[in-house]
Structure 1
């Protein structure tokens, strides 16, 4: 079997294309121009707002009959199961499979498998897909849109990052968060903190506005999470971190002047090895002046409003 044993299926709006591909590169080291990505790396689909399904490939065949034969050899013991088709939309060059055809193939392969089928509450869910003339079968993992649950919170600001963008930025900053210490030193009401905490990040936050940080703590507690949140300017941070996430202040209440932005970046260079900056301004020269190199970037669009996401080391 190919070492690419995981198949990830994506769904994204055209405005999110650039952002989604940067998240792909952060997770896998490369991106895909289509809604299909093959990789040997295992990523939990619910981490990404764009990743909808993962197939943990057990068998690959060049025909449907050969795939059925391989699936029939799978030893499942007494566990119940069901089988689903992933061809619910076009996958690379393979067109969408109509519902009646998907159901027919699901029944056909399910009847050949050793085990007790249960369509309502199965202990195991398997999936199959035909992509570019190749058939794949394996364990099926569906994404849960965790970020959607975080949209309703006690405190919201119109200028804050959306929960979807906040989650993506957190993934870009720490695609493998185990053992990584993260800080959001301009955390605002905490959308990045909530998303990061929901994915098990070791993260702390701070903000120069004490009125904001009280709301931040309430938002975090509302979802059952906890982390350190301090009212302080970035210049007062004494500890160092593996990565910092900075959403540059830009609204009328916390507008940062070019001098303020430069100071934030200089302080970020002092406290973190890597920084992911979200900005509405082009600040490449400031990034370089602070001692960083931009190693990757994208645009995050929302209608006519555009943010830049810069990965700096």
Structure 2
């Protein structure tokens, strides 16, 4: 059921709140640019683009703005014109808001909740509403969605690989590669133990995997199945791929068992240039020159850090 608005006009704006560590800021900004075309230097971002906050490892919440007022009293007055047939709960969103003591936040929630025509339910509401005080005369009220840390659930899988991407980084890389999954066919041609595949599949992305190391592929398939997911995983050298894909996500091999020369890297990337329109490359080595020789244009980039260990994430077309 939707609101019965009366004279209240709904605004087409979404406000996202963010969290993260210092080492993640570059990757977080790259994900923001990929989703929204902009980035924010703060822990909130406003956009007309609607994204499920559970897609991102960095997003905490999303508010679909229904009301924006210059003062709390004006907000309180306007919420009195709102009505919903669903049970609801009102939440004061701390992240990104002017800091208020616990007692004041609860008072605001109660006061606003009492204005809305409908049945409040603090335990199992059918609908959540959020309030934010952004400061500078900006009070926000709207539909509230909290992010679910899906990537965290994927950390515990049957088979691990010491050099694999973390689930958190893998999820961000998938988002950087694919904004809207609708109609997209993707491939991870160096899929390893399947970390990227699991994150992509959990977001409903049509993706397949391949790798030229047959030893790990049984574990890859088991990891995918462990989470109730499925996709094709083939033993195949990416240089031999003939099918065409909209997007390829390539975490270039770099451990002691899979050292590849610049010549082989070039062959791999030239093949990717042939079978995919867009390629996101994850690398621990500088490869700009090789990408350019392979025929790619580098359109954006970011860095994923873990202590002193650094991976570059490069978006190419």
Instruction: Report the TM-score, using the length of structure 1 for normalisation.
Output: 0.96
- Written as runs of structure 1 = structure 2, the 5 A alignment for 1:1-313 is 5-77=13-85, 79-86=86-93, 88-89=94-95, 91=96, 95-132=98-135, 133-313=137-317
Deviating 4+ runs (over 2 angstroms): 1-4
CA shift digits 1:58-110 (9 cap, x unpaired): 11111111111221211212x21110001x24x2xx53222111111111111
Instruction: Report the TM-score, using the length of structure 2 for normalisation.
Output: 0.95
User: Which consecutive residues of structure 2, in runs of 5 or more, have no partner in the other structure?
Assistant: 1-8
Two-structure CA RMSD over aligned residues (Å): 1.2
CA drift of 1:4 comes to 5.3
User: Which consecutive residues of structure 1, in runs of 5 or more, have no partner in the other structure?
Assistant: none
CA drift of 1:112 comes to 1.4
Instruction: Count how many residue pairs are aligned between Structure 1 and Structure 2.
Output: 308
Structure 1 contact 3–40 (Cα < 8 Å) conserved: no
CA shift digits 1:185-244 (9 cap, x unpaired): 000000000000000001000000111111111100000000010001012211010110
Q: Distance in 1 between matches of 2:82 and 2:51?
A: 24
Where 2:256 maps in the other structure, the secondary structure is coil
Q: Distance in 2 between matches of 1:161 and 1:245?
A: 12
Structure 2 contact 212–235 (Cα < 8 Å) conserved: yes
Structure 1 contact 207–233 (Cα < 8 Å) conserved: yes
Q: Distance in 2 between matches of 1:116 and 1:62?
A: 27
Structure 2 contact 194–220 (Cα < 8 Å) conserved: yes
Q: Distance in 1 between matches of 2:167 and 2:222?
A: 16
Q: Distance in 1 between matches of 2:134 and 2:298?
A: 36
